[in-house]
Every structure is written in C-alpha cells, then in structure tokens.
Amino acid sequence: MYQRLDIKTGKSTIFTVMITINIIGTGNLAWHLATNFATSPSIKLQQLASRSPKNQEDFLTSFEEVTTIDKLRSATITIIAVTDNAIAQVATQIPYRDSLVVHTSGSISIDAIQAKRKGVFYPLQSFSKNDTVDFLTIPICLEATTQEDIAILQTVATSLSTIIYQLNSAQRKKAHLAAVFANNFTNHCYTIAQEICKKEDIPFELLHALIEKTAQKAITSSPSEVQTGPAKRNDTSVITTHQDMLQDEDHTSIYNTLTASIISHYGKKL
C-alpha cells in the first residue's frame, strides 16, 4: 500500500498498487521467494532471469516470462538472488537504471550494487533444497538509500512476513555473523552429536527432545542464563572422561575450544 498526497486538496489517499518483481537467480532462495510472492494479490512476478538456463523449468508457471538478464524490462523491484560473489557483476548487467535493484545477501554491502536506486532484502533464515518455508515467521532485514525505497521494500516484505527489521550494512553483516553461530555452528554440533551416537549404536532420536528444548529455552530465556553441563560447572572429572572418549581430532578440537570458552565465560561471572 502507498499513501499519496493530493497537492490541490491536501488530502492523502491510501491505495493499493500492483508491485512488479523481476528475480535474477534460480537457487533455493529465488525459488522460495517466487513461490511465496506468487500467492500475494498485490505482487506480479514479471520476469525471471538466470545466468544458467538449466534450472528454469520449476519457475515457468509463476512468472510472465523466463528470460536472460539482458532482456529484462524495468519492474518496481529487481531482486538479485545469486551467490554473494556474483552480485556485483550481475547488477551491472541489468539493462535499466530507473528502478530499485536489491540483493538478498547477509554479508554483502548495499554498495555492491552499482545503481541509483539500490537496496537489500535479506530474509534471515537458512534455506535448504526441498524445504517447505513459511515466510510468515522469517525476519526480513531491509536497507535502502531513500525512505521511498524503504517503503516499497516494506510493502513487499509485508506480503511475506510479519517480522521486518531495518538494518544498515554494518549491522546486517554482524547479524549474519551472529547467524553463523546460531545456525551453522549449532548445526555442526548436532552433526557431531549424531556421529558420536552412530558409533555406539545409539539412536539419534534420543537427543531430539534435548535439541528442541535447548532451542526453546534460548528463545524464551537468555541463553547465558540456561547454560548447563560439565564446562559450566568446571567439572574437570567429567571433562577428562569426555576427552578420553573422543576419537576424532576435529571433535576433540571443538570439545576443547568450546569447553575452554564456557569455563572462561562463566568463571569470569562468578
């Protein structure tokens, strides 16, 4: 929705406009975005462009046209949903300069886009293939250089999610770094837990309730307030037993690094 001021009468009118979207990219995020935008009555998916034509079949029904970057026509927003390293180059190939171009990356600056009207539309979630994604609860981090463009991005974001943040490039990069700890690193810890279980014929399901509860507690409390375990208690006897049990060099190295950090973190607090 936009608010338009009538200069003659001084009255403002709220009205709905159709937002046209071009998407560049055919990866997981492009697919999830297209699928969800397709259900919004105020959004029209105009063109899809990709660098490689091989993954375009899945998108055919959602867009008016599937094409190449050089054949894109101006839209309200052009969303670049390609790998971080390709963003800058893809942006230069867009054949119009009159409308808003955004990327979707957590770690790339808004300035990677060489365009007059540029922005960032970063949904903070880990998108896997074949995953069902309910955008409603996925935070979307927005950045633009003018309030008008922020308003457009907010309209688009609102069509997907109820959680919208405005972050500048420095904040977004830090949020992405924090997300690496909260997602990438925790998931790798789950993977190691699963490997340990597998070696002893212990079903990984044994840990499901613990994994779920740990995440829930971090959300409802502050994670530092619910830390438990041998490192938190500085229980050297259990820690030594664990170190003796570990057979993989990487597992040992992670165990020691995290244990030392927890001991130091909570030792300081005492």
**Binding to a second copy, residues 85-124 (CB under 8 A):** 85, 107, 124
What token pair was written down for 234?
A: 């500085």
Contact pattern for a second copy over residues 171 through 210, marking x by CB under 8 A:
x-xxx-xxxxxxxxxxxxxxxxxx-xx-xxxxxxxxxxxx
Contact 50, 26 (CB under 8 A): yes
Alpha carbons 161 and 163: distance in angstroms, whole number: 6
66 versus 262: smaller Cβ distance to a second copy: 262
Alpha carbons 172 and 62: distance in angstroms, whole number: 30
Contact 52, 26 (CB under 8 A): yes
What token pair was written down for 189?
A: 């810890």
- Shortest CB 79 distance to a second copy, Å: 20
Contact set for a second copy, span 9-68 (CB under 8 A): none
Q: What is the size of the binding site for a second copy (CB under 8 A)?
A: 92
Q: Is 255 in the site for a second copy (CB under 8 A)?
A: yes
Pick one of 125, 142, 147, 157: the residue that binds a second copy (CB under 8 A): 125
Contact 231, 263 (CB under 8 A): yes
- Shortest CB 241 distance to a second copy, Å: 6
6 versus 200: smaller Cβ distance to a second copy: 200
- Shortest CB 167 distance to a second copy, Å: 7
Smallest Cα–Cα separation from 120: which of 81, 178, 72, 93? 81
Pick one of 90, 112, 141, 153: the residue that binds a second copy (CB under 8 A): 141
Q: Is 137 in the site for a second copy (CB under 8 A)?
A: yes
What token pair was written down for 150?
A: 């922020």
59 versus 122: smaller Cβ distance to a second copy: 122
Q: Look up residue 18 and give its DSSP letter.
A: P
Q: Is 169 in the site for a second copy (CB under 8 A)?
A: no
Pick one of 57, 58, 111, 131: the residue that binds a second copy (CB under 8 A): 131
What token pair was written down for 76?
A: 């309200």
- Shortest CB 39 distance to a second copy, Å: 19
What token pair was written down for 23?
A: 């998407």
Contact set for a second copy, span 215-254 (CB under 8 A): 215-219, 221-232, 235, 237-238, 241-242, 245-246, 250, 253-254
Residues with Cβ within 8 Å of 139's Cβ and at least 6 positions away in sequence, in order, are 123, 124, 125, 161, 163, 164, 165
